[in-house]
Structures are given as C-alpha cells and as structure tokens.
Amino acid sequence: MADTKQQVWPNRGLEILVSSYILSSLSIFTLAWRIVYGIRTKRKLLICDYLLLIAASMDITSAYVRWKIVQYGQGRHMEDPSITPGDFLNYSYYLWIIQIVNLIGVAILKFSICAYLLVLKFSRVYLGFVWASIIMVFTFNLLIPIMSVFCYTPFEANWNKAMPGRCFLSTGATGLSYTQAASNIITDIGDDLLDREGDYTSRSPQDQRSVMGKH
C-alpha cells in the first residue's frame, strides 16, 4: 500500500501541449503569410481565403480547449490519485467540445479547397466532380459525425458516459470511423487530381505537349 501511495505518476500533458501548439503555430503562420502576400500583391481575397481564416480560428479555439483537457487529466494515467471524479467529468466534457470544434474546422478546411477548385471552372465534368466532393465532405465529414456527437438523450449523456442514455443513430462508432476515413481518402485524392487537371488544362498547347513528352 505504501508503494502505491509513493508511486510517481507520469504527466505528459506538457508534451501534448507543446507538440500540438507548434503544429498549430506553423499552420497559422503559413496562413498569415498567404494573406499578407495576397494583400501586398493586391490580390483580391477569395472565398477560400475567408474559409481558411475561419478554420484557423477554429484551430485557435481547439488549442484553448486542449489546454483545458490537459488540465483535467489528459497525459496522466487513469489511476493517478490526483485525478478526481469531477476531473473525469470535466475531461469528458471538454473532449466532447473539442470533437465538435475539430469536426467543423476540418470540414471548413476541406470546403476551402473545394472553393478554390470551383473558381477554376474548366469544364462541366470538372465542376461536377468538385460539387460531388463538396457533397461528400458535407455528408460524411460534417453532417453524420456531428449527428453522432449529439445523438444521445438526455443531452448530458453525450459526454457523461456514466449517465444512461440512448442514441438514435444505428451506426456504431467503428462503422462511422471507417466511413469518415474512406471519405477523407476519396476527397483528398480527388481534390489533388482535380488540381492537377486544372493546372494541366490552364497550360498553353505547347506546354501541354512538353508535359506529355516527359511521361
């Protein structure tokens, strides 16, 4: 019993915060450089730029919520005696909040890519694929995941797993994860191919022949 009380419990909360904040800072710095460069070159800001700014604000919000999650136990062992039952409940609540923030942020980020691709308007087929990507992102990366986050009644059961609740969605968490992952792969590959197609189509005939000659 004495050994248990004297055991040193590791706390990796600082490592979680530092690593995640470094990545967030790099992404925000890159976006700031893009916006400043656009303003200095007198380029009109597009819808995709505004969507990126919204996504960045969601990232900043997520950084604050992550700090709260670490404060209430993330990075520490579940049996750490310093964690109280109230900490577990607060941890679950803020973890639920950050899920919502991240889902919305990632969806907006993907919408910004689609908004950029829509500006190109190379052909009806091209636009059809872009709109299909938008529908997939909205359905599988935003609508269904958000519904799963809010599916339990009573409302508190969405984050308080100790409270008996009932979910109106029949899809399990595993099936939802696979569906969301498949949607991410398809839309990411599709957006990359559409961007390459747009870049190729925008070239002059001489440049197109030059590119084809390299393959």
DSSP 167: E
Handedness of CA 160, 161, 162, 166 (dihedral sign): positive
How far is 6 from 18, CA to CA, in rounded Å? 28
Mean pLDDT of 144-157: 89
Mean pLDDT of 35-51: 90
Mean pLDDT of 131-144: 89
Mean pLDDT of 7-30: 90
Mean pLDDT of 202-210: 45
What pTM was estimated for this model as a whole? 0.79
Peptide bond just before 164 cis, omega within 30 deg: no
pLDDT tops 50 at residue 112: yes
The token pair at 157 is 């059961």
Q: How confident is the model at residue 196, as a pLDDT?
A: 63
Higher pLDDT, residue 62 or 124: 62
Q: Tell me the C-alpha to C-alpha distance, in Å, between residue 204 and each of 80, 160, 181, 194, 212.
A: 65, 59, 37, 18, 12
Q: How confident is the model at residue 165, as a pLDDT?
A: 83
